Amino acid sequence: MIPFFNKKKKNNKESHIHIESVPKHIAIIMDGNGRWAKQRKMPRIKGHYEGMQTVKTITRHASDIGIKYLTLYAFSTENWSRPKDEVNYLMKLPGDFLTTFLPELIEKNVKVETIGFIDQLPEHTRKAVLEAIEKTKDNTGLTLVFALNYGGRKEIVSAVQLIAKRYKDNELELSEITEDSFAEYLFTKEMPDPELLIRTSGEERLSNFLIWQSSYSEFVFVDTLWPDFGTAELDKCIETYHSRHRRFGGL
Ligand code: FPP
């Protein structure tokens, strides 16, 4: 066992969630790193550093309670407009995270994947994530998905372009374009839609995250800033999800 999970200040009590009843796919908008740092008169990047520690805690817990997919919004297509130093730091985080955490991810049978336009990431960021993807590709436990340079609208437009090209080349009939076949052109083609989507920090919007895939997701918004989000709160979000009656538009 490689001990590097950061347990300080996180409310890591033993979970009472039943493994049989957890959602298959949880997606999280990890918001509030900047405010967490500001409240402590620290630079914003310190908030992102602490946010990375929370990613470790939540990944370990998700794996322990039997979640099959955990998708984390780490960098959006809009985040490039942040100050250069902050963007550079955010681009360094996946490498830092994987340097310290990949051995435990491997030990826990976690598979790493990404969604987003990763070709446009700096070389060092892309290299770190591609190496993790390669090293974990045969793992069968939790799939940990980082949304990196991800934007839902761009994802949909890119799917439309691919479909239009195939139609133009006579490779596709109009009637073959269905909801199911369309989803095959999205980054998430191998994944189930998230049943539960969580956003931290009190903001209540999707911010271009999984806009196609979250059509029927339950949304849970919590006030906690991401660096303070812990395992007990994830369990509470799952309980909230269970308390809702999912009808998919029926009765
Ligand atoms: C939003 O908070 C957060 C981000 C844009 C970055 C999220 C990144 C992490 C949590 C670390 C990622 C870790 C890995 C391993 C890739 P914000 O900065 O918008 O916070 P604010 O709204 O309070 O300013």
Mean pLDDT of 33-55: 98
Q: Is 150 in the pocket of ligand 1 (CB under 6 A)?
A: no
Can 31 be counted among the known catalytic residues? yes
pLDDT in tens, 166-214: 999 999 999 999 999 999 999 999 999 999 999 999 999 999 999 999 9
Phi-psi category of 201—alpha, beta or left, where left has phi over 0 and alpha has psi -120 to 50? left
Six-digit token string for 47: 């908030």
The average confidence (pLDDT) of the chain is 93
Q: Tell me, yes or no, if 149 is annotated catalytic.
A: no
Q: Label residue 5 by pLDDT band (50, 70, 90).
A: very low
Q: Which two tokens stand for residue 127?
A: 């290299």
* pLDDT the model gives residue 188: 98
Residue range 63-85, pLDDT digits in tens: 999 999 999 999 999 999 999 99
Average pLDDT over residues 3-8: 37
Q: Supply 182's token pair.
A: 């369309």
pLDDT tens by residue, 93-152? 999 999 999 999 999 999 999 999 999 999 999 999 999 999 999 999 999 999 999 999
Give the residue whose CA is nearest to atom 5 of ligand 1. Answer: 75
Q: Please, are residues 74 and 31 in contact by the beta-carbon 8 Å criterion?
A: no
- Using the predicted structure, report yes or no on whether residue 36 has a pLDDT greater than 90: yes
Mutate to test the pocket of ligand 1, among 6, 31, 89, 98 (most ligand atoms within 8 A of CB): 31
With a cut of 90, say whether residue 9 has pLDDT above it: no
Average pLDDT over residues 4-28: 67
Question: Residue 17 has what pLDDT?
Answer: 72
pLDDT at 3: 32
Residue that wins the pLDDT comparison between 153 and 9: 153
For a mutational test of ligand 1's pocket, the pick from 56, 105, 226, i.e. the residue with the most ligand atoms closer than 8 A to its C-beta, is 226
**What pLDDT was estimated at residue 8?**
43
pLDDT at 244: 86
According to DSSP, the β-strands at 196-199 and 25-29 are parallel
Predicted pLDDT at 4 = 32
pTM for the model:
0.92
Tell whether ligand 1 has an atom less than 6 A from the beta carbon of residue 30: yes
Tell me how far the alpha carbon of residue 142 lies from the centroid of ligand 1, in angstroms. Answer: 22
Q: pLDDT at position 247, please?
A: 63
